Amino acid sequence: MLMKSFFSTSRLCALCTVLLLTWTLPVRAAAIPVLDVTAKHRPQVTTTAPSTDQNPRRWISLGDRRNITAVKQRVGKSSATAAVTRLPNIKKQITSKSVIIMDAETGDTIFSKAPDNPRQPASTIKVLTAMIAIKSLGNNENVGVSRHASRMPRSKIYLDTKKQYKADDLINAVLLASANDASVALAEKIAGSEQDFARMMTLRAKLWGAKNTICRTASGLTAKGQHSTARDLATIFRYLMKNENFARRMQKTKVTTSYGKTLRNHNKALWRIKGADGGKTGYTAAARQTYVGKFTREEGSIIVAVMGSETMWSDVKNLVEYGFQRKKQIARTRMEKTRVAQAD
């Protein structure tokens, strides 16, 4: 029994001696990676052991702790979507029954509300009358005035049936002063009658991209069977503004005729809304307020058309601002998609 106790005590002492030696011997610490604030990809390692290239370490690239660009790029699509949702609800800001915002360069729709609903176009359709006259008559060509033309209701410039007028003056009267008498006088000069000229307008509208426009008058005054759409008005105006002669006339705020009468432009957007290049207003009791115009800013150019409005100038201004914001976002999204595609 005494021997057994001795051997147990010896084993216990030996175990204690081993543990004591383990604790007191110097231990070499393993190399611990330490991130340096200047390191963008691979952290610096502090170690007393010599480095070796035979067993390179693989590091996960996290980026600079002060730079989250990589993270932001990964969620670029979500950011773009969030930016779109921050735009105002434009439908609640307008009274127009039918609307379109069109990219003037591509013809793409930026925004629309019932853009293909047929409605009376009122005087906006006079852009067709003026363009046909520009293509058909010389500026100094004389135009007579029939009794039918002179009896047109306002708006008008009160043409005299006993006088001849230069085509250039009457075209400006149609585009700037929205003159009904000048519209009919030009129509009769070109086609012989307003009815035949209206057929010509319908054919030209289709030729210039408007598929749902039917004209019955040269002036746009309400007539049974006559109609257009916001999309058609924008399509026509987009085409017409490519004509230098037409576009130059639309940009003028006022013009003095060869016989001394001052014609003032009804398009108040020219001095009220930034970037206005030209436009045409219209109003009848059946059509309500109508408008089509082109606007250009650093984001590019847009066409805005409204029909059936009760607050036309407010609608146009809101639509123009919305259109350029949306155009900017579309361009940003396309750039992001291109960048991601190139990176892949």
The predicted-structure confidence for 159-215, as pLDDT tens digits, reads as follows: 999 999 999 999 999 999 999 999 999 999 999 999 999 999 999 999 999 999 999
Q: Which two tokens stand for residue 191?
A: 């086609």
CATH code for the domain of 285: 3.40.710.10
In a domain, 96, yes or no: yes
Q: Which residues of 81-110 are buried (b: 16+ CB within 10 A; e: fewer)?
A: eeeeeeeeebeeebebbbbbbbbbeeeeeb
In a domain, 48, yes or no: no
pTM of the model: 0.75
In a domain, 74, yes or no: no
Q: What is the number of domains present in the chain? A: 1
**Residue 89 and residue 324: Cα distance in Å, rounded?**
15
Q: Is the peptide bond before 155 cis (omega within 30 degrees of 0)?
A: yes
Position 297, amino acid: R
CB distance 267 to 255 below 8 Å: no
The predicted-structure confidence for 73-94, as pLDDT tens digits, reads as follows: 444 444 444 444 578 899 999 9
**Around Cβ 196, how many Cβ atoms within 10 Å?**
13
In a domain, 298, yes or no: yes
The predicted-structure confidence for 207-252, as pLDDT tens digits, reads as follows: 999 999 999 999 999 999 999 999 999 999 999 999 999 999 999 9
Question: Range with the lowest mean pLDDT among 15-19, 286-290, 311-315?
Answer: 15-19
CB distance 127 to 237 below 8 Å: yes
CB distance 263 to 249 below 8 Å: no
Residue 63's pLDDT is what? 53
- Grouping H, G, I as helix, E, B as strand and the rest as coil, residue 31 is coil
**Residue 268: pLDDT band by 50, 70, 90 thresholds?**
very high
CA angle in degrees (0–180, nearest 5) for 236-240-241: 120
**Around Cβ 121, how many Cβ atoms within 10 Å?**
31
Q: Which two tokens stand for residue 331?
A: 């361009």
- On the 0-12 / 13-18 / 19+ scale of CB atoms within 10 A, 14 is exposed
In a domain, 29, yes or no: no
**pLDDT higher than 70, residue 28:** no
Range of the domain at 203: 90-343
- On the 0-12 / 13-18 / 19+ scale of CB atoms within 10 A, 245 is middle
- CA 231 to chain CA centroid, nearest Å: 14
Partner residues linked to 45 by β-bridges:
33
In a domain, 6, yes or no: no
In a domain, 13, yes or no: no
In a domain, 97, yes or no: yes
Across the chain, what does the average pLDDT equal?
A: 85
